[in-house]
Amino acid sequence: MTQENPSQNLKPVLKPVDAAGVHQLYLAGEWTASADVVEVLSPYDRHIVGRVAMATPEQLERAVAASVRAFAFTRKLAGYERQRALAFVARGLAERAEEFAQCIMAEAGKPIRTARAEVERAAFCFQYAAEQATRLTGEVLPLDALPVGANRMGILRRVPLGPVAAITPFNFPLNLVAHKMAPAMAAGCSIVLKPATQTPFSALLLATLVADSGYPREAVSVLPMTNQTASPLVEDERFKLLTFTGSSSVGWAMKSRAGKKKVALELGGNAGCIVHSDADLDKAAARCVAGGFAFAGQSCISVQRILVQKSVYAAFLEKLAAAVGKLVVGDPSAETTEVGPMIRPEDAARAEEWIAEAVAGGAKFVCGGTRQGSIVAPTVLTGTSESQKVNCQEVFAPVVTVEPYEDFEEALQKVNRSPYGLQAGVFTSDMGRILRAYEELEVGGVIAGDVPTFRIDHMPYGGVKDSGQGREGIAYAIEEMTEPKLLVLG
């Protein structure tokens, strides 16, 4: 790495976990203690998963100042240096995959098989970012469209934006951190990241790899902290980009406070899925079950509203109910578990209230509807109205509604009658209908022949309306974290 970078000589002054078992902050390349310590509880049975240090305002200020200093070095790193650091992290994730998966399972309550898939995705993110680190191409521009531009040319390239403030949620405690950190490193930015307080350990475990990757140590901080302490991530003008994944109300409120910095928001949704009469109903039902109930529906693109053409409505509902009935619900550590707990009992109770509201308004259970602690049984409702919370808001729980429609245009209109617009799924064998859906649906992505929950980590991903602005997907996130810079030659 670059010899003049002083942060390369830093050595952690504490271990990631101290003698009392407290997980330390990763502050500008050093494992750092804090007097403020909180317990993290298992979503499944509420036992103590671990104890984590919480950053103070003074410690956050140290991290911000370090990120500004470090950017002077990261912005000058050669592509191969950034690539080498990212590839190191990718290899570490692959080599320690089970350790990371067990961490995700413990703190997030994610079924272990799903947790392992998340680790694979995170490793891919860092590997793909490593490849993109050497592909930051530009343009050569002819400038002779006017006489004054004769014998001149422009060279345009993308340069790193500056220090990045990143805030991530609980539902993908490793992979959504990867979607912030890997592009930042590939772009040559410094980053201060706040993981969700319910799930801080995956991000801190990732920091143990980043610490040894060769990327300038001062350039990366991972700081669990309260929302109040984290206010400078939103408001401090030393950050040039705020990238946030979380709820819509919180994200848009942050944007209003963010000042001049760029803001990338990946927010919520109540994803709609259309099943037309010419679809493969067995496939559609199976995919809607996977898309609606994986990780207890706690995904912003989880299937929430299923619209089925009337002539196949009864047949589809029967197949869906049969598939839901086979789901294994319970302990996330069990290899057979498919649906585990919601993140907190109060979130499960909120979902239960929304279900009860729908039933009081005339909805009927196809299956589910019960709750035990943090576990909500996979629930399918029919006879709902568009104004009920299970339809018009983001339920973020293992709950789907299934309603009939007459014609395809009606289904498109129903999907669009939502304040959200993240992704939508369309099951039909008619290419004309697929293209019509692509043209008319007000969403960031239309998934043909599959559920809106489909995501591959390098594709452009993001929403419109209340679902956000900007795009993730490694190369697209790198674009958010860089800006064009022009040289005119004559």
Rounded to an integer, the average pLDDT of 16-30 is 95
Total number of residues shown for the chain: 490
Look at residue 399 in the predicted model and tell me its pLDDT. Answer: 98
Look at residue 15 in the predicted model and tell me its pLDDT. Answer: 79
Q: How far is CA 102 from the centre of its chain?
A: 19
Look at residue 354 in the predicted model and tell me its pLDDT. Answer: 98
Choose, from 266, 352, 479, 480, the residue flagged as catalytic: 266
Concerning whether 367 is annotated as a catalytic residue, the answer is no
Choose, from 103, 189, 288, 300, the residue flagged as catalytic: 300
Residue 437, CA distances (Å) to 169, 300, 427, 447, 469 in order: 30, 20, 11, 10, 21
CATH code for the structural domain at 6-267+468-489: 3.40.605.10
What are the pLDDT digits (tens) for 224-278?
A: 999 999 999 999 999 999 999 999 999 999 999 999 999 999 999 999 999 999 9
Look at residue 14 in the predicted model and tell me its pLDDT. Answer: 65
Q: Is the pLDDT of residue 419 over 90?
A: yes
Topology annotation, domain 272-456? Aldehyde Dehydrogenase; Chain A, domain 2 (3.40.309)
In the chain, % of residues over pLDDT 70: 97
Concerning whether 273 is annotated as a catalytic residue, the answer is no
Question: Which tokens is 341 given?
Answer: 């707990």
Look at residue 66 in the predicted model and tell me its pLDDT. Answer: 98
pLDDT tier at 29, thresholds 50, 70, 90: very high
Contact criterion met (CB below 8 Å) for 201 and 50: yes
Residue 91, CA distances (Å) to 15, 67, 125, 198, 212 in order: 22, 25, 11, 27, 12
**CA pair distance 141, 206, nearest whole angstrom:** 41
The full set of domain ranges for the chain reads 6-267+468-489, 272-456
In the chain, % of residues over pLDDT 90: 97
Look at residue 11 in the predicted model and tell me its pLDDT. Answer: 45
pTM of the model: 0.95
